[in-house]
Amino acid sequence: MSGSPPPPGGFVRRVGLFQATAINMSQMCGIGPFVTIPLMVAAFGGPQAVVGFVAGAVLALCDGLVWAELGASMPGSGGSYVYLRQAFRYRTGRLMPFLFVWTAMLFIPLIMSTGVVGFVQYLGYLAPGLGRTAGDLIGLGVIALVVILLWRGIEHIARITAVMWAVMIASVLLVIAAAATDFSPHMAFTYPAGAFNVLSGHYWPGFAAGLTIGIYDYLGYNTTAYMGAEIKDPGRTLPRSIVFSILGIMAIYLLLQIGTLGVVDWHRMTDPRDIASSSVASAVLEETWGRGAADAVTVLILVTAFASVFAGLLGGSRVPCDAARDRVFFRPYAKLHPKHRFPVFGLATMGAITAVGFLIGRHTDLATLIQLLTTVMVIVQALAQIVALTVLRRRRPDLPRPYRMWLYPLPSVVAFAGWCVIYGYADDNSPGRRPVEWSLAWLALGCVAFLVWARREKVWPFGPKETGGGSGDDVGEDRNALEVG
């Protein structure tokens, strides 16, 4: 857990800084900004929507510094569940890491499902007559193809991801370049009356909706933390991959957002009958370089969407596997493929849930799906993990920390406040959908599942409370005991 080689038969450290950053950026960018720019404009009611991307970047960077310190200190696969176990084991045993894995089994596939929804949206630009049933079948086929490609060794996947990252960068840069050739400052920087009136009753709900969309677009900066056991020199590589990917994507998003608003009238983005509301990047290319260029770049955007789903399921599938290997989740998820050493049940389960989430998004709307996945992840991952950082600093001052958070605790405070704003306004921004209530219901069901699992495993509250030294050695022992495949 402190960066030593994994046990025989376990994961192999083969992912370097470039590949780690590429994995994060592929997951962060993906189809996100191409489908959420219209949603952001609708949330703010004008081109001042750029505020949402800036706010999302600030929250992502502050929260990313939390991940950077924890990931560098405890670079095991699984990310949050490792950190939560070490921080909260003394009072609640394995409850918090179990609940994290439980919620991750839902919110990670939901994030991937939004990418597939976006894929089908942009495919509709190339095939305007694409019906709902055909779109559903194509989306399910994309998910199946991702799972098939991930059914192999990590060294092959890292090379595939690097290629997809290059395609992602190319597609984004082409849209930015196209926007720059016909950019209108008047369109981009002419705001409606009262656009920045923070005393208005409509500003803060719109800001919260924009912040939710913004942080959704940045999600993925922590993907390599889920793969800590496969990262070379994790004490240095993990923090750098997180910070580099956030700063790089922030620059890309701002150029993309401002450039788009300078080419396409923002009113078109709020009209569901206009192609700019579903395929805004294609609309930019069509306005500037013509239909042929728009078709070509749309193909690249489809590859980008595919890459984001690919990278997300790559990292996310490791979460339940390593948790089970550490005796923090159901044991069948500990199984690795006997030849290629990837998590069989984790990948299969998350692929299936991604398919269900895709169908939900297709038959409701993308904004609702984003609100649901963010509320599900707030309590157990975002807020609890920020608390875990402080707890570990006080309880484990001896823990090796190759990286320590800059300006501690200010980034933690800003991140905590940002996540609270997102959660507090979730129901208001999804009338009738009740994402907060659904997230609490899923959490309650997770508590029931934990009691069933804890009774079978004979751990707290049905066994002795864990009061070990917390060095992480016991985690490695659990993993050796469950080594399979």
Q: What is the pLDDT of residues 366-398, one digit of tens each?
A: 888 888 889 998 988 899 999 999 999 998 998
Residue 430 has what pLDDT? 84
In a domain, residue 5? The reply is no
Predicted model pTM: 0.83
Tell me if residue 77 falls in helix, strand or coil.
strand
Type of residue found at 309? V
Residue 47 has what pLDDT? 92
The pLDDT confidence band at residue 10, using thresholds 50, 70 and 90, is low
Top mean pLDDT of 26-30, 44-48, 61-65, 193-197 is at: 61-65
Indicate whether 42 pLDDT > 50. yes
Residue 175 has what pLDDT? 92
Are the C-beta atoms of residues 18 and 180 closer than 8 Å to each other?
no
Q: What is the pLDDT of residues 264-317, one digit of tens each?
A: 999 999 998 888 888 999 999 999 999 999 999 899 889 888 887 887 787 778
CA distance 216 to 220: 9
Q: What is the pLDDT of residues 90-144, one digit of tens each?
A: 888 889 989 998 998 998 899 889 989 999 999 999 988 888 889 999 999 999 9
In a domain, residue 11? The reply is no
- In this prediction, residues 45-70 reach a mean pLDDT of 93
Q: What is the pLDDT of residues 208-267, one digit of tens each?
A: 999 999 999 998 898 888 777 778 888 888 999 999 999 988 888 899 999 999 999 999
- In this prediction, residues 32-60 reach a mean pLDDT of 91
In a domain, residue 4? The reply is no
> Which residue is associated with the tokens 């070509």?
296
CA distance 116 to 296: 19
Give the number of other Cβ atoms within 10 Å of residue 132's Cβ.
Answer: 10
Which carries the bigger pLDDT value, residue 22 or residue 408?
408
> Which residue is associated with the tokens 């910070």?
243
Number of compact structural domains in the chain: 1
Give the number of other Cβ atoms within 10 Å of residue 128's Cβ.
Answer: 7
Indicate whether 442 pLDDT > 80. yes
Beta bridge partners of 355: none
The pLDDT confidence band at residue 469, using thresholds 50, 70 and 90, is very low
Residue 466 has what pLDDT? 66
In a domain, residue 229? The reply is yes
Residue 138 has what pLDDT? 95
Are the C-beta atoms of residues 454 and 303 closer than 8 Å to each other?
no
In a domain, residue 322? The reply is yes
In a domain, residue 6? The reply is no
- Worst-scoring range by mean pLDDT, 63-72, 324-333, 444-453? 324-333
Q: Which of 105, 81, 92 is nearest to 446 (CA)?
A: 105
CA distance 60 to 450: 30
- Worst-scoring range by mean pLDDT, 11-20, 391-400, 434-443? 11-20
CA distance 38 to 280: 7
Give the domain range for residue 422. 17-481
Indicate whether 24 pLDDT > 70. yes
Indicate whether 26 pLDDT > 60. yes
In a domain, residue 131? The reply is yes
Residue 484: which region, alpha, beta or left (left: phi > 0; alpha: psi -120 to 50)? beta
Q: What is the pLDDT of residues 165-220, one digit of tens each?
A: 788 788 888 999 999 999 999 999 999 988 888 888 788 888 999 999 999 999 88
Beta bridge partners of 231: 15
- In this prediction, residues 399-425 reach a mean pLDDT of 93
Residue 272 has what pLDDT? 86
Residue 479 has what pLDDT? 41
In a domain, residue 3? The reply is no
In CATH, what number is assigned to the domain containing residue 132? 1.20.1740.10
